[in-house]
A and B are shown apart, each in its own frame.
Chain A
């Protein structure tokens, strides 16, 4: 009986693997068809890329298919940046490249040779939080926390965009400098999805850091 119990016990990780395997079995015919159409198997192509992450230079030997997100998480072990949808729809992978926020899942690491990249780990540390990180804690701008690194990187860049005069869909007069208003922040943060629905607290946190003029 004990033995049977043991054999039935599966860890969460094993369960996830089993789940993935059965999902693969279901989709196998379509995938096999697509692969047959796409021609012979191609061997991976490796490429060397140097980039600067959070002030530290790195040189990596990567498969050309490696996204910037996977380079950060799997090769540099900077797992603060999250993989949500992996298709540019959720914003969990948002990082700041050369001063601009982008979806790190929709860009290849090899396209960023020489670029300066800031991730959530580069904004602050547990001992010295970035003001935006501290504001998210204070205002409870999250529940599960999975989208939070992307929200914070995005929010930091949004304030920079408004200060630089970049207009948005919420900007009333295109010829005037945009103001820091709740409407502006909500529009500009629309590329960061929070399935827990912490939006109102996220906006409160950003408003505190930005200093609202609304």
Chain B
């Protein structure tokens, strides 16, 4: 690990200003992903701004009935919140399908959104990786790519986004609230937070230098049956091969977002009109433009079958309360 200076921020705006002021500075919250990468010298910050003491760890009910989730709410606490369990079950289920109990106790809401890919070639510093070292090439293309993305990829990068939480938030139409180094706040739809790799896979999101996520807002509850179904190589503590977050209404209409298949949570609103007609009717649009490798071509069929299972579960659950996994 490379040496760094360390400070505790006094306010969100101060933190943003501090990171913008010092070249090579980074925020640290839970630290579970950043420290992992710092040990491998994939991340080499010169200065860490600890935002842990900023009080952004509350979940508040908004006047419109929605929820405002502080950026530093721990994954455990968000999954366990009674309002989330009752009204946003897909989010609880997604969080509980991710990581381990120890990691969820440390990992934060904003940190989860901004975590880096677990592509093995991003982690292996002896291999080329356009995300880690721009212009060096992509070892995953033609390498072992079983876990890699099949949608939204480019010739420069096929890394997938590892979050479960973000997939549920995409299905819930969450918005992300930020503060910039000049103190200005803004909100953006979660759909606009992550960028596709294109020719610049090292640029992973649309936040400006020093811009700090302060909260994630959920619109008022939409009802329906909530399902998060994650398919992985182990029964627990493994990243998704494919995951499906779904909210299905009594009439069969609903929303679907996918995890494990793209560089960002994947949702195609135009495909959702077909949901009442079943998974096979949805996938042509949902998976349009898929570019799998030989290693991960199975993901295309696995999405359709997982979605099919999810829709069957949702139909069975109609009229009963609660969330399925």
Contact = CB atoms under 8 A, between A and B. Distances in A.
Asked whether A and B interact, the reply is yes
Size category of the A interface is 35 or more
Interface string B1-12: 111111000000
Interface residues of B, number: 47
Contacts of B50: 110-111
Interface in B52-91: 52, 76, 79-80, 85-86, 89
Contacts of A103: 32, 102-103, 106
A110 B6 contact: yes
Contacts of A39: 44
Given A30-B125, A38-B41, A169-B236, A154 B31 contact: no
Interface stretch (B203-211, B259-267, B306-314, B317-325): B317-325
Contact of B106 (A86, A87, A106, A173): A106
B36 A64 contact: no
B97 interface: yes
Nearest to B321: A175
B305 interface: no
A188 B99 CA distance: 11
A166 B82 CA distance: 10
Given A108-B31, A169-B96, A175-B85, A65 B105 contact: no
A21 interface: no
A106 B5 contact: no
A42 B4 contact: yes
Interface stretch (A5-13, A94-102, A130-138): A94-102
Nearest to A161: B101
B3 A91 contact: no
Interface in A69-87: 86-87
B36 A91 contact: no
B85 A167 contact: yes
B170 interface: no
A187 to B, nearest CB: 5
B202 interface: no
A102 B44 contact: no
Contact of A169 (B32, B35, B97, B106): B97
B28 interface: yes
Given A86-B39, A101-B105, A166-B76, 10 more contacts: A34-B125, A39-B44, A42-B4, A65-B4, A101-B101, A110-B6, A165-B80, A166-B80, A167-B92, A168-B96
The 8 closest A-B pairs by CB, nearest first: A191-B100, A190-B236, A42-B3, A190-B237, A30-B126, A174-B85, A100-B105, A169-B96
Interface of A: 27, 30-31, 34-35, 37-39, 42-45, 47, 63-65, 67, 86-88, 91, 94, 100-103, 106-108, 110-111, 154, 157-158, 161, 165-169, 171, 173-175, 186-192
7 contacts: A38-B2, A64-B6, A102-B102, A154-B102, A161-B76, A166-B76, A190-B236
Interface of B: 1-6, 28, 30-32, 35-36, 39, 41, 44, 46, 48, 50, 52, 76, 79-80, 85-86, 89, 92-93, 96-97, 99-103, 105-106, 125-126, 133, 234-237, 321-323, 325
